[in-house]
Chain A
Amino acid sequence: MKCFDVLIIGAGIVGSAVARECALLGWRVGVIEGGTPAGAATAAGMGHVVVMDDSAAQLALTAFSRSLWRAESTKFPKSVEYEGRGTIWVAADEEEMAEVGTRQKVYEEAGIAASLLTAAELAKQEPNLRHGLAGGLLVPDDGVVYPPAAAAFYLAEAKRLGAEVFYARALSASHKQVRLSDGTELTADRIVLAVGTECDLLPALPIQKRKGHLIITDRYPNFLHHQLVELGYLKSAHKVTDDSVAFNIQPRQTGQLLLGSSRQYGNEQPEAEAEMLRRMIDRAKQYMPALEKLSVLRVWTGFRAATADKLPLIGPAAGLSEDSSLWLAAGFEGLGITNAPGAARLLVDGMLGRESAIDATSYLPIRLTEPARLAHA
């Protein structure tokens, strides 16, 4: 039986980032992938590296993790397509413009660069937006990446440092033992579940699938310069019940445009739905009418791994499992790309008992267990 210091189940962007972080410590690292590496949520997502402020804890993690992306941005291979495009949060009317001001202050206090754009400045930055929008908030240090290549980069780095990758499904993972579908048995002091929405190995994981649709166009270089997100996006993303859509568009290095977004609970069908697409496109056209003429190459869906409080599960599985060898890096919802490097760092800090750059207690899985919830009530 092969022995490791840590076994990571799942070679999506989070599992791959964790693998590299562990390999950097000189640990013996094993990575287990039952499907295509970076083939699930990592492949389906947009690749927006973005600071979000739904809660103080979300702001802290996204800001920390974004700083790690930026620090490394010159080291990535070309395929990662990292570009510091910046995000513009678009305000449709004066009411939203007032919110932009509030938001800028929050960012300022957190040390995040953000500047107000007037209606005229917004039009100048993004001429394809419709006239009559109120303005926006430019967050210049946000970025765009191609997630499958970023995940592959982390995994290649881990391998370069000695990590071993097993292409088989993990049938069971508990008490330092992992059994694979090809009969291999592995053992490790710690097992990390970086499983996205697949909860078979630990059914107690408090993760729900949240379906999303995305559209990619043909190449239209210079049609768009920043990632644009309507200010209402946060409201849409925050909602935990109804299906919702929001205008969210990203310029790819290829000149293609990636258009989102939709959020649905309780729908586990992978098919793209005409009704959601129509709603998404209608919403987008309200901001960018010129889009309707652009040629669409492909439409797809994916599933975000959502938790009840919109924060990920990073740390020991205590509270969800009696098994002290089990660790979690899961439940990233729509921020798995942004938060992957930060989560990897926090997880390893936790394993080493090392102090973290930010307060990691908000992301501990134990917070979502029954006793913890009762204590809060």
Chain B
Amino acid sequence: MRAEVLVIGAGPAGIAAATAAAENGCKVIVLDDNVTAGGQIWRGATVDSANTQDVAKQRAMERLQRSGAQVLNGRSVFSADASGTVQTLQETASGNVVEQFHFEKLVLATGARERFLPFPGWTLPGVFGAGGLQALVKGGYSVAGKKIVVAGTGPLLLAVATHLAEDGAVISSVLEQATLAQLAPFAASLWTHPAKLVQGARFRVKLWKTPYRAGCWVIEAIAGSGQTLASVRVTDGTRTWTEPCDLLACGYHLVPNTEIAAFLGCAFRESFVQVDSAQRTSLPNVFCAGEPAGIAGLEAALVQGEIAGLACAGRSHASLQRRSAAERAFGDRMEKAFALRAELRSLPRPDTIVCRCEDVPFARLQGHQGWTDAKLQTRCGMGPCQGRICGPAIEQLLGWRPVSIRQPLFPVPLQAFCFPDASENNTTELIKEKA
């Protein structure tokens, strides 16, 4: 299948990019790995609720539909090359379908995932990522009556706690590792972002009984009988105490999904894809919008996506630059506010598992020359998740930047590599396996 503009990711950034490009006459295809568009932040949001985000999503989705961009859900990109092809896998009831897409311009709007940091007990049943637990609840998992500690860092914690409370959970505390002093300038700056302030207020209304403790973090998850979570040990740096709970929702802000960009060979600026004011990467036909270009939240994703879409269509985006700069500044303040404290690096004990796929404990990661050396000698990061979980943790713990992204970008059946040669046929080819 051929698109002038191919967008990967149907979260806010991808939706905005696709809409802008399609409204300006481009043939646009959006690929998304979820069953419905919306990304992580708009996942499962419904129109009938009074939620402001739902209204925003609804509006964005309607405009996308009118624009003529074609959204293809359930497609996961497992291989790509900058010369103009992307390969996807779709799991259907009748088997796996492999498709090949050709593009002139590519927009990477691949979003972000939660950062996990290992601490003793983090692999116990009952310990979840904060965003992970929220996604489970949106998918139907019941937390009614469950006592939950929400911990880690980032604006997501309050959103998750609110959502869990709305679903009947008892939030015993929200633990933010950043200090109040660290958070204050960020909180103050929210006055200039009314939309964000409204969200924050909503959280406070739902959680008015729940203690929000800044400068506190979980140092250990403790199992009860039956080897599931019973309590957590918490510290504020001087004092430690135990909080009993049924579940722990713990996430340390976000890490960008940059695997496709890295695989294509885009230049990076630290952990993020390097872009210019048109959201163009170091590859002239590849653009990047939203979290992979710098964690800055929903509004940034929307404006960056629109800029990328306009740039793809050859239209001016000058009028959006001020908004874009403001959102980028917001992202920078957020990064400072939720910067991880050094103590988190010393939480793992020698036997604390760091790589869950390959069961690699912290002790085995020490004494190596770097990521590649550690990887070769311990297989850390070589399991099914390909280092997506342990990579960012190791970057925090040991300071090693993840290296070498290899295809497939996620595990696929061997058969997926047997796609007919692109030169033989330019239209979509389907390989249907028997289920």
Contacts and interface: CB of A to CB of B under 8 A. Distances in A.
Contacts of B373: 36-37, 39
A296 B406 contact: no
Contact of B377 (A148, A277, A298): A148
A313 interface: no
Interface string B395-425: 0000000000011100111111111010000
Interface stretch (B300-308, B311-319, B380-388): B380-388
B68 interface: no
Interface residues of A, number: 33
Given A37-B369, A38-B376, A295-B411, A274 B386 contact: no
A223 to B, nearest CB: 12
Interface in A272-300: 272, 274-275, 277-278, 281-282, 284, 291-300
A74 to B, nearest CB: 21
Contacts of B79: 274
Interface in B268-285: none
Interface string B77-89: 0010000000000
B370 interface: yes
A36 B384 CA distance: 23
B377 A292 contact: no
A148 B376 contact: yes
A100 interface: no
A282 B418 contact: yes
B386 A278 contact: no
A291 B414 CA distance: 7
A82 to B, nearest CB: 16
A184 interface: no
B411 A167 contact: no
A115 interface: no
Contacts of B415: 281, 292-293
The 6 closest A-B pairs by CB, nearest first: A148-B376, A292-B415, A295-B411, A36-B372, A277-B417, A36-B373
B386 A296 contact: no
14 contacts: A39-B376, A79-B377, A254-B379, A272-B406, A274-B421, A281-B418, A292-B415, A292-B433, A293-B433, A296-B414, A296-B417, A297-B382, A298-B406, A299-B408
Interface string B340-382: 0000000000000000000000000000011011001101001
Interface in A187-228: 215, 217-218
Contact of A36 (B376, B406, B407, B419): B376
Given A149-B377, A297-B383, A274 B369 contact: no
Contacts of A37: 369, 373
A278 B376 contact: no
B414 A300 contact: no
A277 B79 CA distance: 13
Given A167-B369, A272-B407, A300-B406, A295 B413 contact: yes
A152 interface: yes
Given A291-B414, A296-B417, A300-B406, 11 more contacts: A39-B373, A39-B376, A43-B376, A217-B414, A272-B406, A278-B418, A294-B413, A295-B413, A296-B416, A299-B406, A299-B417
Contacts of A294: 413-414
B94 to A, nearest CB: 15
A293 B417 CA distance: 11
Contacts of A299: 406-408, 417
Nearest to A299: B407
Given A37-B369, A275-B421, A296 B376 contact: no
A297 B411 contact: yes
Interface string A24-43: 00000000000011110001
Interface string A68-107: 0000000000010000000000000000000000000000
Nearest to A272: B407
A263 to B, nearest CB: 18
A36 B414 contact: no
Contacts of B372: 36, 39
A13 B414 CA distance: 30
Q: Which of A274, A282, A292, A299 has the most CB of B within 10 A?
A: A274
A221 to B, nearest CB: 15
A38 B386 CA distance: 20
Contacts of A43: 376
A309 to B, nearest CB: 31
A274 B420 CA distance: 10
B212 to A, nearest CB: 41
A278 B417 contact: yes
B38 to A, nearest CB: 28
Interface in A32-61: 36-39, 43
Contact of B382 (A282, A291, A298): A298
A274 B423 CA distance: 12
Which among B417, B419, B433 has the greatest number of chain A C-beta atoms within 10 A? B417
Given A36-B370, A278-B418, A298-B406, A293 B413 contact: yes
B155 to A, nearest CB: 34
A122 B22 CA distance: 59
Contacts of A218: 384, 411
Contact of A274 (B406, B419, B433): B419
A352 B369 CA distance: 33
Contact of A293 (B369, B414, B418): B414
Interface string A283-325: 0100000011111111110000000000000000000000000
A281 B373 CA distance: 29
A327 to B, nearest CB: 26
A39 B404 CA distance: 12
Contacts of B377: 79, 148-149, 152
A217 B413 CA distance: 9
Nearest to B404: A300
Contact of B386 (A254, A291, A295, A298): A298
Contacts of B413: 292-296
Contacts of A284: 414
Contacts of B369: 36-37, 167
A256 B248 CA distance: 33
Most chain A CB inside 10 Å of its own CB: which residue of B407, B412, B419: B407
Interface centre among A217, A292, A294 (most CB of B within 10 A): A292
A297 B376 contact: no
A5 to B, nearest CB: 25
Nearest to B81: A271
A169 B224 CA distance: 53
Interface string A139-172: 0000000001100100000000000000100000
B369 to A, nearest CB: 6
A283 to B, nearest CB: 11
A296 B384 contact: no
Nearest to A297: B411
Contacts of B417: 215, 274, 277-278, 281, 296, 299
Contacts of A149: 377
